[in-house]
Amino acid sequence: MSPSCCSGKYSVALFFFILSAVPIAYIISSEKAVPSTHVISYHSSGFLRECAKWDDVGRRFLVSYMDGGGGIGELVPTKDSDDVLKEVTLVKDVDLAGNSSNGFVIDRHRNRLLLAVGDLLGNRYSALVAYDLSTWRRLFLTVLSSHSKEITYADDVAVDTQGNAYVSDAKGGKIWVVDVNGKLVYTIRSPLFTTPGWYNNFVSLNGIVYHPEGFLIVIHTFSGFLYKIDVTNGDVSSKVTVIDVSGGSLRFGDGLEFLSPTKIVVAGSPSSKLVESSDGWRTASVTGWFSSGMVHRLVSSATVKEGRVYLNHIVGFGSKKRHILVEAVF
């Protein structure tokens, strides 16, 4: 997979809605419950962590900071799988303070990380940042939207074999395309990206991944629509189709992660789904479901570590801001 992740604006709004609607006793009870699968816990400097991805070469998890001015941190597993890990900050850019760090993708062939950055509260700034994975030197900063009347929110990013990046706009319903050197080259728009009912577009395009056969798959969070976008021509005329999904709804789906060219994990709340296709993603079926039981923590992204799927939960709790990655078994 060109790994992907999630929508911060939706997550924060939903988090506060849940806190106001769910009895505190229920949250306390849920926090005491132990998921039936493996849980990786870590203490953090912030309460909101939008995306987590396993870096196989670096033997670590990388996490993005939705709060605290943004940034990227790492979690290095120990020999004892039950140890509570410590988050270590790798990079925080002062000139991006006030924005959230959202979905990101590891571009292993170029030893870099591509990160979507957005103005969480005002939706007036969106950017793509590239970092060297070894030194954390910033390679480029591409401003996608700034100080305009247009409402935007750079939410997630995928990368193709040529190094082109595709950034989903969760508020504006479009995809920015940035070349390998950081130049914004065009924007993919389609009437299909706007679904009937204003409420269905509160959070639109979210998790995004690149398929090795030359197309993108992106999810529309509030409607649950899954799109296939042919980018082989490399221009604004990219063909957009809606994937016919059977077997269950993908509404409130967030981050996407390929398990194989025919299987995708859709991370979300109240449950994450396994989706499979046998016809090149013209159609697909929901074949599995998983819930950690931690609905109040909000699942936002998925990653694969040595064949095992782990779900990132946005919200941390307690004085030490304990966060969790929960293994999903479908």
Given this model, what pLDDT does residue 31 score?
A: 77
Task: Give me the sign of the Cα torsion angle 2, 142, 300, 85.
Answer: positive
Q: Where do the H-state alpha helices sit in 196-247?
A: none
SS3 per-residue string spanning 245-304: EECCCCCCEEEEEEEECCEEEEEECCCEEEEECCCCCCEEEEEEEECCCCHHHCEEEEEE
- How confident is the model over 316-323, as a mean pLDDT? 94
Model confidence at 8: pLDDT above 50: no
Strand bridging mode 244-246 / 283-290: parallel
What fold, for 35-326?
Methylamine Dehydrogenase; Chain H (2.130.10)
Question: For position 13, what pLDDT does the model report?
Answer: 55
Q: Give the C-alpha separation, 53 to 105, whole Å.
A: 8
Handedness of CA 136, 144, 5, 298 (dihedral sign): positive
Mean pLDDT of the 45-72 span: 97
Closest-CA residue to 171 (of 203, 198, 196)? 203
For 87-128, write each residue's pLDDT tens digit. 999 999 999 999 999 999 999 999 999 999 999 999 999 999
For the segment 271-305, what is each residue's pLDDT rounded down to a tens digit?
999 999 999 999 999 999 999 888 889 999 999 99
Residue 20 pLDDT > 70, yes or no? no
Quote the pTM value: 0.92
Q: Is the peptide bond before 261 cis (omega within 30 degrees of 0)?
A: no
Q: How far apart are CA 206 and CA 199, in angstroms?
A: 15
Q: What pLDDT, on a 0 to 100 scale, did the predictor assign at position 26? A: 67
Specify the pLDDT at position 42. 98
The confidence score (pLDDT) of residue 4 equals: 57
Helix, strand counts (H, E) of the chain: 2, 26
What are the angstrom distances between the C-alpha of 130 and each of 164, 165, 217, 234, 298? 12, 10, 22, 21, 27
Query: In terms of Cα–Cα distance, which of 317, 308, 223 is closest to 265?
Result: 308
pLDDT of residue 16: 53
